[in-house]
Amino acid sequence: MTRAVDSGYVDAARESGLLRTVAGRSYVAGAYTDAVTGRRQVLVEYADHGLVEDPALLAELTGVLVAGHDDADGLLMRTGPWVELPRPWRTQVTYVRLAGGSPSDVDLAASAADVDFEVTTAGPEHDPLVLGWLERAFHAAGDEIEADVAATDAATAARSVLEQRGRVSLLVWHRGEPVGHATLLCAAHDEVTGTDFVELVDSLVEPVVDVRAATTALTAAAGEHAAGLGLPLFGNVVHPVGDSSGKAERVLASLRRRGWRVSHRYWFAPLGSR
């Protein structure tokens, strides 16, 4: 189920001058530079359903955005889970929400427990290990969307995650060695819907063990941590550019079977293609 836009968000956007209209329908957009890739984008955080579901209105909105941001490399738009935008738009990131308490989650957690894995909370002594995994995640995400990520930028982004308020990293151990992590931001807030949540920023398991089982153990622990805080757990799936093999959709299908539901998507359109 998709949450409605928060009235406080709309009021704040109006006061800041970011709330505008096309054909009488509202949207919120502004310039945005990705701190990791350096891409200069126009971020459409919110657009009335009618603007994105009507091809003519979407084209009109796109024209307005392009005209107002000549120096941007592309457009990045948030939509509901049901929306399918036409080319040149492509899905860049899908956000998913764990529907807690589903039988599939319980079954998967039980199967993971049969394997010799233990999940613990990382301490300060594990920061270098977690930093390394986070840096790899930023490089991998950049590769998937065909964006160059400098080593210094990946390191800065990883350090920023580590220093976030409410950050918790979980480690999965096998035979006394840490083989992977799940890093959570437990003070996350979605301004558009007004939702407080726990964000699963990254999960990585080294391929020296059963990756699926270890990942299941981490996800189960992350879900339990979020539930203990009384908050929903969100994660994301990056869609590789030119994903002809359907890798991202297979991942999403697997997540749905495990009790996850699509919350919203971000679509990207390079301005050079207009």
pLDDT category of residue 274 using cuts at 50, 70 and 90: very low
Dihedral sign of CA atoms 52, 53, 59, 64 in order = negative
| Number of other CB atoms surrounding residue 217 within 10 Å | 27
Alpha carbon separation from 143 to 146, 149, 155, 167 (Å, rounded)? 5, 8, 16, 25
Report the pLDDT averaged over residues 11-25: 96
DSSP annotation of 190 reads E
CB 165 within 8 A of CB 187: yes
Q: What pTM did the predictor assign?
A: 0.91
Q: Which one, of 193, 202, 206, lies nearest residue 164 by Cα? A: 202
Topology (CATH) of 96-264: Aminopeptidase (3.40.630)
Query: Lowest-confidence range among 18-27, 64-73, 101-110, 160-169?
Result: 101-110
pLDDT digits (tens, 9 = 90+) for 131-160: 999 999 999 999 988 888 889 999 999 999
pLDDT digits (tens, 9 = 90+) for 75-107: 999 999 999 999 999 999 999 999 764 435 544
Query: Lowest-confidence range among 42-46, 56-60, 118-122, 254-258?
Result: 254-258
Query: Within the chain, which residue ranges are assigned CATH 3.40.630.30?
Result: 96-264
Per-residue confidence (pLDDT) for residue 69, from 0 to 100: 84
CB 95 within 8 A of CB 78: no
